Amino acid sequence: MKEKSLVIKFQETPLSCHDSMLQNNFDIIDYMYIQKSLFVRIHYYVRLIVLGIAPLGGDLLKLGVHVSIAGSVDRAFDRAEERGCDTFQIFTRNPRGWKSKDLIDKEVESFRAKSESSGIEPVFGHMPYLPNLASSKDETYEKSVETLIDELSRCARLGIPYLVTHLGSHLGQGKEIGFERIINAINRAVKEAEIDVMLLLENTAGTKNSMGATFEDLRFIIESLDEANRIGICFDTCHAFAAGYDLRNEEALQTTMEKFEEILGFQRLRVVHANDSVGKLGSRLDRHEHIGFGYIGDEGFKVILKHEVLGSLPLILETPVDQAGDDYTDLKKMRDLFQSI
């Protein structure tokens, strides 16, 4: 096992994503990871080697999936370990309803303890399905903002440094109204929450009336916020491809990521949602596919894994669980592609 591999893959993401515009209290979110016990990291990596999940002597890929919190929120770590994850994502509540159960002190303590001892990090929270931060319907909008405030607080209590959110739909009222609602919602939530959790805006597939499909739209939202330093980006490969950003080969990916860097800047990018696409390039179809089974394909994910920025970030799979495959098969596919580079 080369020491260089451990150092690069454990430090490259937090240390390479900083510039003057982000040198503030949020530095602690990134630097907290390199302060964790190196022994814990090495122990976890050795366990992955023994299980045949991570290759001996290879670079450590930061790969994970969205896992369930059924039974107790801390069991997410157990499920992530079972799958050989290096990182993972969760809903902190039932994602299909507005009401949430209060977090239990004992479960919070267990979650934080497993976070310290497991070697699996970072953990990402994800907003539930129902909130719509761009909604023109007042009741839905108010519930959405309150949910965002609550989710930021829940993540802080669990020690989760990042919360991913979709930006929602303007419901036919136009992008201008959608922008106004989203900007006001995030400003209010960040101000009221007053906690050190970074909110990550996820790019969308460009379905009818949806917000945030283009890099320019994401930049407009961020630049309009009162505390833009508390905002980052989650890059979803399926959504980007469906919105018209080609990722299928090295030249196409380079073009897309040059646009991303110019418009948004890599310093804001914190996580990649690695999903293949059922729809063709520019289809605006938001349907995830197993890795290599969709239109991005094996070659696309090879160049994504090889990319100096995307390949060094945490990659979270949100692929289907069906007869064609599950978390285990897609994780293995990604590791196999990584080793074939």
On whether the CB atoms of residues 92 and 73 are closer than 8 A, the answer is yes
Q: What is the mean pLDDT of residues 106-125?
A: 97
Nearest to 212 by CA among 249, 191, 242, 257: 242
Query: What are the tens digits of pLDDT across the range 64-99?
Result: 999 999 999 999 999 999 999 999 999 999 999 999
Burial class of residue 197 in the structure, from the number of CB atoms within 10 Å of its CB (0-12 exposed, 13-18 middle, 19+ buried): buried
pLDDT of residue 194: 77
- Number of Cβ within 10 Å of residue 274's Cβ equals 28
Q: What is the DSSP letter of 91?
A: -
Give catalytic residues, as residue numbers. Answer: 96, 126, 129, 166, 202, 236, 239, 273, 286, 288, 318
- pLDDT of 33 higher than 90: no
Q: How far apart are CA 108 and CA 332, in angstroms?
A: 31
- pLDDT of 254 higher than 60: yes
Beta bridge pairs of residue 199 = 163, 231
Nearest to 260 by CA among 276, 243, 280, 277: 243
Torsion of CA 215, 220, 224, 225, to 10 degrees: -20
- pLDDT of 240 higher than 80: yes
Q: How far apart are CA 91 and CA 89, in angstroms?
A: 7
- 207-216: string of b/e by CB count within 10 Å (b at 16+)? eeebbbbbbe
- pLDDT of 22 higher than 50: no
- 219-255: string of b/e by CB count within 10 Å (b at 16+)? bbbbeebeeebbbbbbbbbbbbbbbebbbbeeebbee
On whether the CB atoms of residues 274 and 315 are closer than 8 A, the answer is yes
- What pTM value is reported for the model? 0.86
Beta bridge pairs of residue 277 = 288
Query: Among 51-55, 61-65, 67-71, 296-300, which is the least confidently predicted range?
Result: 51-55
pLDDT of residue 257: 98
pLDDT confidence band for 237 (50 / 70 / 90)? very high
pLDDT of residue 19: 39
pLDDT of residue 1: 36
Sign of CA dihedral 275, 280, 282, 285: negative
Average confidence score pLDDT of the chain: 88
Query: What are the tens digits of pLDDT across the range 142-192?
Result: 999 999 999 999 999 999 999 999 999 999 999 999 999 999 999 999 999
**DSSP-derived secondary structure for 257-275:** HHHHHHHT-GGGEEEEE--
> Which domains are delineated in the chain?
62-340 (3.20.20.150)
pLDDT of residue 111: 98
